[in-house]
Chains A and B, each alone.
Chain A
Amino acid sequence: MGVESDEWKSVEREEEKRGEMMACRQLWASRAASYLRISVFHRSFSHVVKDLKYADSHEWVKVEGNSATVGITDHAQDHLGDVVYVELPEVGATVTQGDSFGAVESVKATSDINSPVSGKVIEVNEELNSSPALVNSSPYKDGWIIKVDLSDSGELNNLMDSEKYSKFCEEEDSH
């Protein structure tokens, strides 16, 4: 309850609205681009959730006790484009901070997903097998990718908070 609950309700509302806006914007942009024979770049302002931690490879982690939920950020999903496939690890697999544990495929590209934490995979989001687009429409909630039992919570100090991550994304996009 309280601030955390209110923030996650806000995340839900935000992601619902974004889903509708994304669909309209992409339809218009794709039609215009097709007519003009140019590429479309989606340069929306990326959404960042306050109480998560972030890796410089654009994954987020939500820590609850000694467990963590991992996904990719709004910035990442926006830059990847429509996700058509998610390669998930096996439950029981070991993940290491900074190393790849799976991949997402968007149009023409496979992109590694790197774990922001070390530990053991205790659950994977099976919904992504049938609905990979959840990574786009709900990157911080329904599009979560794995849950991990942490082996070293001290590693969280290597990650960015939301403010630092926002600035990091702005700097990357300014190049």
Chain B
Amino acid sequence: MAVMGKAKEAGLPLMKLVKLRGMPILQQLHLEERLLRTSSDNWCLINDGTNSPAIVMGLSGKLSELVEAKPVLRDCIPIIRRFTGGGTVVVDHDTIFVTLICNKDAVPNVQPFPRSIMSWSGLLYSEVFEGLADFHLRENDYVFGDRKFGGNAQSITKNRWIHHTSFLWNYEVKNMCYLKLPAKAPQYRLTRSHMDFICRMKEYLPRSEFIERTIKALGSQFSVKSISLESIDFSSVSEYVHTTKLLTEQEIQETCTIQT
């Protein structure tokens, strides 16, 4: 996609866009963490579905409190602890991921703190869904009405931040059996079960239209330039130690023992 001429003329900061499809979520998170920590560019990554189901917990998530270990082991579902905060999700080919990595100076009206970044993202996605659905940022979730369809998490460094979202394009009901009801839930959830709390994006707009609208909304604040994954140069970066980790089978087995 060409650089958007008008945006460039306005002197907007450059944002590199990488469109992916089916990238494994562990690989995606490793890429994100590396870009946050070792790059000085602004990035938007869009992964249109991950290749196979996985459970992704936030940095401090306690396995025994968040995940039903027995069905996870039975079905060989990998569990990943990611480098950002927030809750636990089950992701698969029907999850769309949108990740924004920004220098704090690129969005000077946004303070590098969670609420400010979250609020800014809410305005961005209001533009994406304008005229299509009753979209809101509700506490820290994206909702249509009072049903969640997008979950968010962030990591903030001295001069940069990442805000990434997993959007529920569609989901399989059986996947919900892997997750416990979290002890800490948003107030607007009330006592609703997973099925009554979440909704499917596919009921509101086509997949490709969501992606195109997101890129267009970014274009009002950034000069968006599409690049390929292969062109990302990590040659100048020495071995990077990730915080994002795949949990071992032993760790999950130990949790299973605690839970039975």
Tell me the A residues contacting B by CB distance below 8 Å: 30, 34, 37, 39, 41, 57, 79-81, 84-85, 87, 98, 100, 103, 105-112, 114, 172-173, 175
Contacts and interface: CB of A to CB of B under 8 A. Distances in A.
Given A34-B188, A85-B59, A100-B157, A105 B85 contact: yes
Contact of A108 (B118, B119, B138): B118
B85 A110 contact: yes
B139 interface: yes
Interface residues of B, number: 33
B153 A109 contact: yes
Nearest to A78: B113
Q: Closest 3 A-B residue pairs measured CB to CB?
A: A85-B60, A109-B154, A109-B114
Given A105-B58, A110-B85, 12 more contacts: A37-B138, A37-B188, A39-B139, A41-B115, A81-B114, A84-B60, A85-B60, A87-B59, A106-B85, A107-B114, A110-B59, A175-B111
Nearest to B83: A110
B103 interface: no
B115 A175 contact: no
Contacts of B188: 34, 37
B84 A109 contact: yes
Nearest to B160: A112
A80 B154 CA distance: 12
Given A39-B137, A39-B139, A57-B158, A108 B113 contact: no
B88 interface: no
Contacts of B137: 39
Nearest to A132: B60
Contact of A105 (B59, B136, B140): B59
